[in-house]
Amino acid sequence: MRSLARSLPVAVCLGFASAAHAGTFVPNPVSIANAADDALAQVTLVGTATGVPAGGIVLDGSAGPSDLTLLLTLRYVGPGSPTFTQLGLFADPLWSSVGWIPGADVDWTSGAHTAGSAAFAQSAAIATGAVTDVLFITVPSIDVGKVLLFGFTNGSGSASGGGQAAATWVPEPGTLALVAGGLALLARAARRQ
């Protein structure tokens, strides 16, 4: 029993430490519409990482090696083909950087962050149905239950070319299963002793 008592705090701490960055937002993808409820864009969380992802280019700020990195894509759903799109992510985490991973899709051309409130990125010209390369935004951590607000603007010059949508940060289902499985193994070990 004594060895179990020593291992339980370590196992629980390791489980929660490894789960600290594992999460997703709900809904995913986030659909952004304007005030007239016209669909504009969909933002999809395609994964998470730590620090600057492989092949990533930081557009603004600096990412710590253990920062949570959100990997996002944006699909433009209309109307028209604007000269650019701009995506903003607003919340109170201290955003540390914004950047992109070059690929075969629409490029991100610039980005900026304001520590404590927002991260922005602007794409090149985009056509309806097109998807951007992966955009990444880093933050030290995001609390479970945090509401993230996405703001979108298209460069069409139209007053109806912008909108907002919200998503909630939740634990990734697989992470909860791993923590629960670890606790079940510890409970079984306790019964055996």
Residues 117 and 185 in one domain: no
Residues 44 and 90 in one domain: yes
Residues 150 and 122 in one domain: yes
The CA dihedral of 174, 175, 180, 183, to the nearest 10 degrees, is 140
User: Three-state SS across 53-66?
Assistant: CCCCEEEEECCCCC
- Residue 3 in this model has a pLDDT that exceeds 90: no
CB 8 within 8 A of CB 183: no
* Number of CB atoms found within 10 A of residue 144's CB: 11
H or E element, residue 9: helix 2-19
CB 92 within 8 A of CB 117: yes
Q: How many domains does the chain have?
A: 2
Poorest-pLDDT segment among 11-20, 28-37, 123-132, 170-179:
11-20
C-alpha–C-alpha distance, residues 160 and 170, integer Å: 31
pLDDT digits (tens, 9 = 90+) for 114-152: 766 789 999 999 999 999 999 999 999 899 999 999 999
Residues 78 and 132 in one domain: yes
Residues 133 and 193 in one domain: no
Q: Tell which residue, 101, 106, 93, 85, has the closest CA to residue 32.
A: 85
93's CB contacts (< 8 A; 6+ apart) are 116, 139, 140, 141, 142, 146
Q: Which domain holds residue 103?
A: 23-171
Residues 15 and 81 in one domain: no
Name the amino acid, one letter, at 153: T
The per-residue DSSP string of 62-107 comes to: ---TT-EEEEEEEEE--SS--S-EEEEEE-SS---EEEEE--SSBP
pLDDT digits (tens, 9 = 90+) for 152-189: 998 865 556 789 999 999 998 754 444 455 555 555 65
Q: What is the pTM for the complete model shown?
A: 0.78
Residues 38 and 104 in one domain: yes
Residues 5 and 88 in one domain: no
Percentages helix, strand, coil for the chain, rounded to the nearest 5? 20, 45, 35
Find the CATH number of the domain harbouring 100.
Answer: 2.60.40.10
